[in-house]
Chains A and B, each alone.
Chain A
Amino acid sequence: MSSFESIAPTAEQRKTDRDNVLALMEKIGAVVSDDFQCNGMPLISLNDTTQTGDFDFASMAGCIVLGGRLNSVDVSPFPSGLVRMTVIRWGEGDDKCGKIVVGKGTDLDGTSIVSYIGVTIGDNVYVGPRTVIMDSDGHPGDRTLPDIPENKKKAPIVIGDNVKIGFGSMIMKGVTIGENAVIAPKSVVMWDVPAGAYFGGNPAKKVRAPK
Protein backbone atom coordinates (compact mmCIF):
# COMPACT_ATOMS: atom_id res chain seq x y z
CA MET A 1 0.00 0.00 0.00
CA SER A 2 1.26 3.48 -0.80
CA SER A 3 0.83 6.73 1.09
CA PHE A 4 -1.38 7.82 -1.80
CA GLU A 5 -4.19 5.68 -0.36
CA SER A 6 -4.69 7.92 2.65
CA ILE A 7 -5.88 10.92 0.64
CA ALA A 8 -7.98 9.10 -1.92
CA PRO A 9 -11.75 9.40 -1.47
CA THR A 10 -13.11 6.97 1.11
CA ALA A 11 -15.95 4.60 0.38
CA GLU A 12 -18.16 6.88 2.45
CA GLN A 13 -17.19 9.94 0.41
CA ARG A 14 -17.74 8.07 -2.82
CA LYS A 15 -21.22 7.12 -1.71
CA THR A 16 -21.99 10.72 -0.73
CA ASP A 17 -20.64 11.93 -4.08
CA ARG A 18 -22.81 9.41 -5.90
CA ASP A 19 -25.93 10.39 -3.93
CA ASN A 20 -25.30 14.08 -4.63
CA VAL A 21 -24.71 13.44 -8.30
CA LEU A 22 -27.82 11.26 -8.63
CA ALA A 23 -29.92 13.99 -7.00
CA LEU A 24 -28.49 16.49 -9.46
CA MET A 25 -29.08 14.20 -12.44
CA GLU A 26 -32.68 13.68 -11.40
CA LYS A 27 -33.20 17.42 -11.11
CA ILE A 28 -31.89 18.11 -14.60
CA GLY A 29 -33.71 15.17 -16.18
CA ALA A 30 -30.58 13.21 -17.04
CA VAL A 31 -30.85 9.48 -17.70
CA VAL A 32 -28.58 7.42 -15.46
CA SER A 33 -28.00 3.67 -15.63
CA ASP A 34 -27.60 1.38 -12.61
CA ASP A 35 -23.89 0.80 -13.13
CA PHE A 36 -23.11 4.55 -13.22
CA GLN A 37 -20.41 5.58 -10.74
CA CYS A 38 -18.55 8.75 -9.93
CA ASN A 39 -15.63 10.00 -7.88
CA GLY A 40 -16.04 13.64 -6.95
CA MET A 41 -18.72 16.02 -8.13
CA PRO A 42 -18.71 16.85 -11.86
CA LEU A 43 -19.54 20.32 -13.14
CA ILE A 44 -22.71 20.23 -15.22
CA SER A 45 -23.86 23.35 -17.06
CA LEU A 46 -27.07 23.62 -19.02
CA ASN A 47 -27.47 26.61 -21.26
CA ASP A 48 -30.77 27.36 -23.00
CA THR A 49 -30.79 30.45 -25.18
CA THR A 50 -34.52 30.08 -25.88
CA GLN A 51 -35.47 30.67 -22.25
CA THR A 52 -35.61 33.66 -19.97
CA GLY A 53 -36.57 33.79 -16.30
CA ASP A 54 -36.48 30.75 -13.99
CA PHE A 55 -34.83 27.79 -15.63
CA ASP A 56 -37.25 25.10 -16.85
CA PHE A 57 -35.30 21.83 -16.86
CA ALA A 58 -37.96 20.11 -18.98
CA SER A 59 -36.64 21.68 -22.17
CA MET A 60 -33.33 19.84 -21.74
CA ALA A 61 -34.51 16.62 -20.12
CA GLY A 62 -32.71 13.58 -21.51
CA CYS A 63 -29.83 15.58 -22.97
CA ILE A 64 -27.38 13.72 -20.73
CA VAL A 65 -27.41 9.91 -20.76
CA LEU A 66 -24.85 8.32 -18.47
CA GLY A 67 -23.34 4.94 -17.92
CA GLY A 68 -19.76 4.35 -16.89
CA ARG A 69 -17.66 6.36 -14.42
CA LEU A 70 -17.01 10.08 -14.12
CA ASN A 71 -13.75 10.69 -12.26
CA SER A 72 -13.43 14.30 -11.08
CA VAL A 73 -10.46 14.03 -8.75
CA ASP A 74 -7.13 15.77 -8.55
CA VAL A 75 -5.72 12.92 -6.49
CA SER A 76 -4.17 11.28 -9.49
CA PRO A 77 -0.63 10.78 -10.84
CA PHE A 78 -1.18 13.40 -13.56
CA PRO A 79 -2.79 16.86 -13.51
CA SER A 80 -6.48 16.17 -13.72
CA GLY A 81 -9.55 18.03 -12.59
CA LEU A 82 -13.30 18.05 -12.77
CA VAL A 83 -15.38 16.25 -15.32
CA ARG A 84 -17.21 19.12 -17.01
CA MET A 85 -20.31 18.59 -19.11
CA THR A 86 -21.86 21.56 -20.86
CA VAL A 87 -24.98 21.19 -22.99
CA ILE A 88 -26.47 24.02 -25.01
CA ARG A 89 -29.94 24.37 -26.44
CA TRP A 90 -29.84 27.08 -29.11
CA GLY A 91 -33.25 26.69 -30.77
CA GLU A 92 -36.50 24.71 -30.71
CA GLY A 93 -36.45 21.03 -31.63
CA ASP A 94 -34.22 17.99 -31.12
CA ASP A 95 -31.75 19.06 -33.78
CA LYS A 96 -30.99 22.34 -32.01
CA CYS A 97 -29.89 20.97 -28.68
CA GLY A 98 -26.74 19.25 -27.51
CA LYS A 99 -26.73 15.70 -26.17
CA ILE A 100 -24.07 13.74 -24.33
CA VAL A 101 -24.29 9.93 -24.20
CA VAL A 102 -21.75 7.86 -22.25
CA GLY A 103 -21.73 4.06 -22.59
CA LYS A 104 -21.31 1.16 -20.13
CA GLY A 105 -17.97 0.59 -18.46
CA THR A 106 -16.55 3.84 -19.87
CA ASP A 107 -14.10 5.89 -17.77
CA LEU A 108 -13.96 9.66 -18.13
CA ASP A 109 -11.02 11.11 -16.14
CA GLY A 110 -11.14 14.87 -15.74
CA THR A 111 -12.66 15.27 -19.20
CA SER A 112 -14.50 18.32 -20.54
CA ILE A 113 -17.38 17.75 -22.95
CA VAL A 114 -19.30 20.57 -24.64
CA SER A 115 -22.23 19.68 -26.86
CA TYR A 116 -24.32 21.77 -29.27
CA ILE A 117 -25.57 18.85 -31.39
CA GLY A 118 -24.41 15.45 -30.12
CA VAL A 119 -21.50 13.63 -28.48
CA THR A 120 -21.87 9.85 -28.28
CA ILE A 121 -19.26 7.80 -26.42
CA GLY A 122 -19.52 4.02 -26.62
CA ASP A 123 -18.87 1.22 -24.13
CA ASN A 124 -15.55 0.53 -22.32
CA VAL A 125 -13.95 3.73 -23.60
CA TYR A 126 -11.13 5.36 -21.65
CA VAL A 127 -10.60 9.13 -21.87
CA GLY A 128 -7.52 10.60 -20.18
CA PRO A 129 -7.42 13.71 -17.97
CA ARG A 130 -7.70 17.23 -19.38
CA THR A 131 -9.13 16.01 -22.67
CA VAL A 132 -11.63 18.32 -24.36
CA ILE A 133 -14.43 16.92 -26.56
CA MET A 134 -16.44 19.61 -28.33
CA ASP A 135 -18.86 19.18 -31.23
CA SER A 136 -18.64 22.81 -32.29
CA ASP A 137 -15.95 25.39 -33.03
CA GLY A 138 -17.50 27.57 -30.36
CA HIS A 139 -17.28 30.77 -32.40
CA PRO A 140 -17.65 31.60 -36.09
CA GLY A 141 -14.42 30.88 -37.99
CA ASP A 142 -15.21 33.91 -40.11
CA ARG A 143 -14.48 36.66 -37.60
CA THR A 144 -16.63 39.18 -39.49
CA LEU A 145 -19.85 37.24 -38.72
CA PRO A 146 -21.94 37.83 -35.57
CA ASP A 147 -21.07 35.49 -32.68
CA ILE A 148 -24.44 33.66 -32.53
CA PRO A 149 -25.08 29.88 -32.39
CA GLU A 150 -26.35 29.73 -35.99
CA ASN A 151 -22.94 30.89 -37.25
CA LYS A 152 -20.96 28.36 -35.23
CA LYS A 153 -20.05 25.24 -37.16
CA LYS A 154 -21.29 22.09 -35.43
CA ALA A 155 -21.26 18.38 -36.26
CA PRO A 156 -21.83 15.29 -34.08
CA ILE A 157 -18.93 13.36 -32.53
CA VAL A 158 -19.06 9.56 -32.25
CA ILE A 159 -16.48 7.58 -30.28
CA GLY A 160 -16.68 3.82 -30.76
CA ASP A 161 -16.42 1.02 -28.19
CA ASN A 162 -13.08 0.23 -26.50
CA VAL A 163 -11.37 3.41 -27.75
CA LYS A 164 -8.53 4.84 -25.64
CA ILE A 165 -7.87 8.57 -25.75
CA GLY A 166 -4.60 9.82 -24.27
CA PHE A 167 -4.51 12.66 -21.73
CA GLY A 168 -4.56 16.27 -22.86
CA SER A 169 -6.20 15.50 -26.21
CA MET A 170 -8.79 17.44 -28.14
CA ILE A 171 -11.55 15.85 -30.20
CA MET A 172 -13.02 18.33 -32.68
CA LYS A 173 -16.43 18.61 -34.31
CA GLY A 174 -17.69 15.96 -36.69
CA VAL A 175 -15.07 13.37 -35.78
CA THR A 176 -15.90 9.66 -35.73
CA ILE A 177 -13.37 7.45 -33.95
CA GLY A 178 -13.77 3.80 -34.93
CA GLU A 179 -13.94 1.09 -32.28
CA ASN A 180 -10.69 -0.18 -30.71
CA ALA A 181 -8.73 2.84 -31.97
CA VAL A 182 -6.05 4.41 -29.75
CA ILE A 183 -5.26 8.13 -29.64
CA ALA A 184 -1.82 9.17 -28.33
CA PRO A 185 -1.62 11.74 -25.50
CA LYS A 186 -1.93 15.43 -26.40
CA SER A 187 -3.32 14.75 -29.85
CA VAL A 188 -5.66 17.11 -31.64
CA VAL A 189 -8.09 14.98 -33.64
CA MET A 190 -9.59 16.92 -36.55
CA TRP A 191 -10.60 14.08 -38.91
CA ASP A 192 -12.10 10.59 -38.62
CA VAL A 193 -9.99 7.81 -37.12
CA PRO A 194 -10.49 4.33 -38.63
CA ALA A 195 -11.35 1.39 -36.38
CA GLY A 196 -8.30 -0.22 -34.75
CA ALA A 197 -5.92 2.55 -35.82
CA TYR A 198 -3.20 4.25 -33.73
CA PHE A 199 -3.34 8.01 -34.29
CA GLY A 200 -1.33 10.78 -32.70
CA GLY A 201 -0.07 14.33 -33.09
CA ASN A 202 -1.43 17.79 -33.80
CA PRO A 203 -3.19 17.39 -36.17
CA ALA A 204 -3.66 13.68 -35.42
CA LYS A 205 -2.53 11.31 -38.14
CA LYS A 206 -1.76 7.62 -38.40
CA VAL A 207 1.51 7.08 -36.55
CA ARG A 208 3.55 4.14 -35.49
CA ALA A 209 2.42 2.94 -32.09
CA PRO A 210 5.23 3.12 -29.49
CA LYS A 211 6.87 -0.07 -28.31
Chain B
Amino acid sequence: MSKFSTTPITKEQLEQINVENDELFTKIGMTRNERFFCAGRPVVIFKDITSDSDEIDLDIFTGRIAIKNGGILSTGINPFPCGPARLTIVKWGDDEDQCGYIDCSSTLNGGPAIISLKRVTIGKNVLFGPDVTITDSDEPIDEKLSPEEMAEKIAPVTIEDHAWLGLGATVLKGVTIGHHAVVSANAVVYRDVPPYATAFGNPAWIVPGNPSGEK
Protein backbone atom coordinates (compact mmCIF):
# COMPACT_ATOMS: atom_id res chain seq x y z
CA MET B 1 0.00 0.00 0.00
CA SER B 2 1.20 3.52 -0.65
CA LYS B 3 0.83 7.04 0.58
CA PHE B 4 1.14 10.04 -1.70
CA SER B 5 2.10 13.55 -0.68
CA THR B 6 -0.50 15.24 -2.87
CA THR B 7 -4.18 14.37 -2.67
CA PRO B 8 -5.16 11.73 -5.17
CA ILE B 9 -8.23 12.38 -7.24
CA THR B 10 -11.44 11.74 -5.28
CA LYS B 11 -13.87 8.97 -6.07
CA GLU B 12 -16.53 11.49 -7.08
CA GLN B 13 -14.17 13.31 -9.42
CA LEU B 14 -13.11 10.01 -10.97
CA GLU B 15 -16.74 9.01 -11.52
CA GLN B 16 -17.43 12.35 -13.18
CA ILE B 17 -14.41 11.95 -15.47
CA ASN B 18 -15.52 8.40 -16.33
CA VAL B 19 -18.95 9.66 -17.33
CA GLU B 20 -17.43 12.38 -19.54
CA ASN B 21 -14.95 9.93 -21.03
CA ASP B 22 -17.70 7.42 -21.70
CA GLU B 23 -19.68 10.03 -23.64
CA LEU B 24 -16.57 10.83 -25.67
CA PHE B 25 -15.82 7.18 -26.41
CA THR B 26 -19.38 6.49 -27.49
CA LYS B 27 -19.40 9.58 -29.71
CA ILE B 28 -16.22 8.53 -31.50
CA GLY B 29 -17.32 4.91 -31.79
CA MET B 30 -14.45 3.42 -29.80
CA THR B 31 -14.90 -0.31 -29.27
CA ARG B 32 -14.62 -1.39 -25.64
CA ASN B 33 -16.03 -4.10 -23.40
CA GLU B 34 -17.91 -3.99 -20.08
CA ARG B 35 -14.64 -4.25 -18.12
CA PHE B 36 -13.12 -1.17 -19.78
CA PHE B 37 -11.84 1.53 -17.42
CA CYS B 38 -10.21 4.88 -17.97
CA ALA B 39 -8.35 7.20 -15.59
CA GLY B 40 -7.34 10.58 -16.88
CA ARG B 41 -8.62 12.04 -20.13
CA PRO B 42 -6.98 10.70 -23.30
CA VAL B 43 -6.43 12.80 -26.40
CA VAL B 44 -8.05 11.26 -29.50
CA ILE B 45 -7.21 12.72 -32.91
CA PHE B 46 -8.91 11.78 -36.17
CA LYS B 47 -7.37 13.14 -39.35
CA ASP B 48 -8.85 12.78 -42.83
CA ILE B 49 -6.43 14.09 -45.45
CA THR B 50 -8.64 12.95 -48.34
CA SER B 51 -11.21 15.57 -47.44
CA ASP B 52 -10.95 19.36 -47.64
CA SER B 53 -13.83 19.83 -45.25
CA ASP B 54 -13.29 21.36 -41.83
CA GLU B 55 -15.76 18.87 -40.37
CA ILE B 56 -14.73 15.35 -39.45
CA ASP B 57 -17.11 12.61 -40.55
CA LEU B 58 -17.09 10.44 -37.42
CA ASP B 59 -18.76 7.56 -39.28
CA ILE B 60 -15.52 6.85 -41.12
CA PHE B 61 -13.66 6.43 -37.87
CA THR B 62 -16.18 4.37 -35.93
CA GLY B 63 -14.60 1.21 -34.62
CA ARG B 64 -11.11 2.28 -35.71
CA ILE B 65 -9.92 2.26 -32.12
CA ALA B 66 -10.71 -1.06 -30.47
CA ILE B 67 -9.73 -1.66 -26.86
CA LYS B 68 -10.67 -5.33 -26.64
CA ASN B 69 -9.39 -5.85 -23.12
CA GLY B 70 -8.18 -3.55 -20.37
CA GLY B 71 -8.42 0.21 -20.25
CA ILE B 72 -6.56 3.50 -20.57
CA LEU B 73 -4.51 4.94 -17.70
CA SER B 74 -2.80 8.28 -17.71
CA THR B 75 -3.11 9.92 -14.31
CA GLY B 76 -0.85 12.62 -12.95
CA ILE B 77 0.25 10.76 -9.83
CA ASN B 78 3.04 8.64 -11.12
CA PRO B 79 6.66 7.98 -10.16
CA PHE B 80 7.58 9.29 -13.63
CA PRO B 81 6.37 12.21 -15.70
CA CYS B 82 3.69 11.08 -18.10
CA GLY B 83 1.01 12.83 -20.07
CA PRO B 84 -2.40 11.77 -21.36
CA ALA B 85 -2.74 8.84 -23.75
CA ARG B 86 -2.73 10.15 -27.32
CA LEU B 87 -4.46 8.02 -29.94
CA THR B 88 -4.33 9.25 -33.54
CA ILE B 89 -6.02 7.70 -36.58
CA VAL B 90 -5.27 9.05 -40.06
CA LYS B 91 -7.29 8.38 -43.21
CA TRP B 92 -5.12 8.91 -46.31
CA GLY B 93 -6.98 7.13 -49.11
CA ASP B 94 -10.41 5.89 -50.08
CA ASP B 95 -9.87 2.17 -49.45
CA GLU B 96 -10.72 0.45 -46.18
CA ASP B 97 -7.04 -0.32 -45.52
CA GLN B 98 -5.93 3.25 -46.24
CA CYS B 99 -6.99 4.33 -42.79
CA GLY B 100 -5.46 3.68 -39.38
CA TYR B 101 -6.66 1.03 -36.96
CA ILE B 102 -5.61 0.43 -33.36
CA ASP B 103 -6.39 -3.10 -32.21
CA CYS B 104 -5.46 -3.33 -28.53
CA SER B 105 -5.96 -6.17 -26.03
CA SER B 106 -3.96 -4.68 -23.15
CA THR B 107 -4.28 -1.72 -20.83
CA LEU B 108 -2.72 1.42 -22.26
CA ASN B 109 -0.77 2.55 -19.21
CA GLY B 110 1.39 5.64 -18.71
CA GLY B 111 -0.01 7.83 -21.47
CA PRO B 112 1.34 6.23 -24.67
CA ALA B 113 1.22 8.05 -28.00
CA ILE B 114 -0.05 5.74 -30.75
CA ILE B 115 -0.33 7.02 -34.31
CA SER B 116 -1.85 4.69 -36.85
CA LEU B 117 -2.20 5.05 -40.62
CA LYS B 118 -2.67 1.36 -41.31
CA ARG B 119 -2.68 -0.99 -38.33
CA VAL B 120 -1.21 -1.15 -34.85
CA THR B 121 -1.93 -4.45 -33.12
CA ILE B 122 -1.24 -4.85 -29.41
CA GLY B 123 -1.62 -8.32 -27.91
CA LYS B 124 -2.60 -9.53 -24.46
CA ASN B 125 -0.82 -8.65 -21.22
CA VAL B 126 1.56 -6.19 -22.86
CA LEU B 127 3.24 -4.05 -20.22
CA PHE B 128 3.48 -0.34 -21.01
CA GLY B 129 5.93 1.90 -19.19
CA PRO B 130 5.24 5.65 -19.23
CA ASP B 131 5.70 7.76 -22.37
CA VAL B 132 5.81 5.03 -25.02
CA THR B 133 5.47 6.03 -28.69
CA ILE B 134 4.22 3.68 -31.42
CA THR B 135 3.87 4.74 -35.05
CA ASP B 136 3.20 2.73 -38.21
CA SER B 137 4.41 5.43 -40.59
CA ASP B 138 7.34 7.69 -41.29
CA GLU B 139 6.65 11.04 -39.72
CA PRO B 140 5.61 13.55 -40.88
CA ILE B 141 3.52 12.31 -43.79
CA ASP B 142 3.71 14.59 -46.80
CA GLU B 143 0.05 15.16 -47.61
CA LYS B 144 0.88 16.15 -51.20
CA LEU B 145 1.86 12.56 -52.01
CA SER B 146 -0.54 10.22 -53.77
CA PRO B 147 -1.88 7.23 -51.78
CA GLU B 148 0.42 4.97 -53.82
CA GLU B 149 3.48 6.99 -52.86
CA MET B 150 2.36 7.15 -49.26
CA ALA B 151 1.91 3.41 -49.04
CA GLU B 152 5.70 2.94 -49.11
CA LYS B 153 6.06 4.95 -45.95
CA ILE B 154 3.51 2.98 -43.97
CA ALA B 155 3.82 -0.54 -42.50
CA PRO B 156 1.82 -2.22 -39.70
CA VAL B 157 3.25 -2.60 -36.20
CA THR B 158 2.57 -5.62 -34.01
CA ILE B 159 3.31 -5.93 -30.31
CA GLU B 160 2.84 -9.57 -29.34
CA ASP B 161 1.52 -11.01 -26.07
CA HIS B 162 3.45 -10.45 -22.80
CA ALA B 163 5.92 -7.98 -24.32
CA TRP B 164 7.25 -5.13 -22.18
CA LEU B 165 7.71 -1.64 -23.61
CA GLY B 166 9.91 0.25 -21.15
CA LEU B 167 9.75 3.93 -20.17
CA GLY B 168 10.04 6.20 -23.21
CA ALA B 169 10.35 3.34 -25.71
CA THR B 170 9.73 4.21 -29.34
CA VAL B 171 8.55 1.59 -31.85
CA LEU B 172 8.82 2.64 -35.49
CA LYS B 173 6.92 1.49 -38.58
CA GLY B 174 6.91 -2.11 -39.70
CA VAL B 175 8.26 -3.51 -36.44
CA THR B 176 7.07 -6.68 -34.73
CA ILE B 177 7.94 -6.94 -31.05
CA GLY B 178 7.93 -10.67 -30.34
CA HIS B 179 6.05 -12.23 -27.45
CA HIS B 180 7.79 -11.95 -24.05
CA ALA B 181 10.31 -9.51 -25.56
CA VAL B 182 11.57 -6.47 -23.65
CA VAL B 183 12.18 -3.01 -25.10
CA SER B 184 14.54 -1.23 -22.70
CA ALA B 185 13.88 2.30 -21.48
CA ASN B 186 14.25 5.00 -24.16
CA ALA B 187 15.17 2.48 -26.83
CA VAL B 188 14.25 3.38 -30.41
CA VAL B 189 13.30 0.20 -32.28
CA TYR B 190 13.40 0.25 -36.07
CA ARG B 191 13.58 -3.52 -36.77
CA ASP B 192 11.90 -6.66 -35.40
CA VAL B 193 12.66 -7.87 -31.89
CA PRO B 194 12.42 -11.69 -31.66
CA PRO B 195 10.44 -13.35 -28.85
CA TYR B 196 12.18 -13.29 -25.43
CA ALA B 197 14.88 -10.89 -26.72
CA THR B 198 15.76 -7.45 -25.32
CA ALA B 199 16.27 -4.27 -27.35
CA PHE B 200 18.51 -1.49 -25.99
CA GLY B 201 19.61 1.90 -27.21
CA ASN B 202 19.06 4.29 -30.06
CA PRO B 203 19.17 2.82 -32.66
CA ALA B 204 18.22 -0.35 -30.82
CA TRP B 205 20.46 -3.40 -30.87
CA ILE B 206 19.07 -6.79 -29.91
CA VAL B 207 20.24 -9.20 -27.22
CA PRO B 208 18.63 -12.62 -27.71
CA GLY B 209 16.91 -14.18 -24.75
CA ASN B 210 15.83 -17.60 -23.65
CA PRO B 211 12.62 -18.45 -21.91
CA SER B 212 13.08 -19.73 -18.37
CA GLY B 213 10.77 -21.79 -16.28
CA GLU B 214 8.20 -23.87 -18.07
CA LYS B 215 7.88 -22.50 -21.57
Contacts and interface: CB of A to CB of B under 8 A. Distances in A.
A202 B3 contact: no
Contact of A55 (B1, B80, B215): B1
B200 interface: yes
A144 B213 contact: yes
A48 B80 contact: no
Interface centre among B5, B6, B80, B129 (most CB of A within 10 A): B5
B8 to A, nearest CB: 10
Contacts of B186: 170, 186, 188, 202
A127 interface: no
A86 interface: yes
Nearest to A80: B81
Contacts, number: 97
Contacts of A24: 5
Interface stretch (B18-26, B27-35, B58-66, B163-171): B163-171
A145 B212 contact: yes
Given A139-B127, A145-B213, A170-B168, A190 B2 contact: no
Interface in A155-189: 170, 172, 186, 188
B182 interface: yes
Interface in A71-118: 81-82, 84, 86, 110, 112, 114
The interface size bin for chain A is: 35 or more
B1 A132 contact: no
B148 to A, nearest CB: 35
B201 A47 contact: no
By secondary structure, the B interface counts as loop
Contact of B201 (A41, A48, A52, A203): A203
A143 B164 contact: yes
B185 A188 contact: yes
A51 interface: yes
Given A43-B77, A139-B127, A188 B201 contact: yes
Contacts of B180: 143-144
B182 A84 contact: no
Contacts of A86: 79
Contacts of B5: 24, 28, 41-45
A81 B202 CA distance: 25
A201 B2 CA distance: 35
A188 B79 CA distance: 18
A142 interface: yes
By secondary structure, the A interface counts as loop
Interface in B158-215: 162-164, 166-168, 180-182, 184-188, 196, 198, 200-202, 209, 211-213, 215
A23 to B, nearest CB: 10
Interface in A127-162: 130, 132, 138-139, 141-145
Chain A to chain B: the 10 pairs with minimum beta-carbon distance, closest first: A86-B79, A143-B180, A202-B202, A47-B2, A44-B5, A55-B3, A81-B81, A188-B186, A203-B201, A143-B162
27 contacts: A28-B5, A41-B5, A43-B5, A43-B6, A44-B5, A46-B2, A46-B3, A47-B1, A53-B1, A55-B3, A132-B185, A141-B182, A142-B209, A142-B212, A143-B163, A143-B181, A143-B182, A144-B162, A144-B212, A144-B213, A144-B215, A145-B212, A170-B185, A172-B185, A188-B201, A201-B202, A202-B201
Interface of A: 24, 28, 41-49, 51-53, 55, 57, 81-82, 84, 86, 110, 112, 114, 130, 132, 138-139, 141-145, 170, 172, 186, 188, 190, 201-203
Given A144-B180, A190-B200, 20 more contacts: A44-B4, A44-B5, A45-B5, A47-B2, A48-B2, A52-B1, A57-B3, A84-B79, A84-B80, A112-B81, A130-B81, A141-B209, A143-B196, A144-B162, A144-B211, A144-B215, A145-B213, A188-B184, A188-B201, A202-B202
Interface of B: 1-6, 77-81, 127, 129, 162-164, 166-168, 180-182, 184-188, 196, 198, 200-202, 209, 211-213, 215
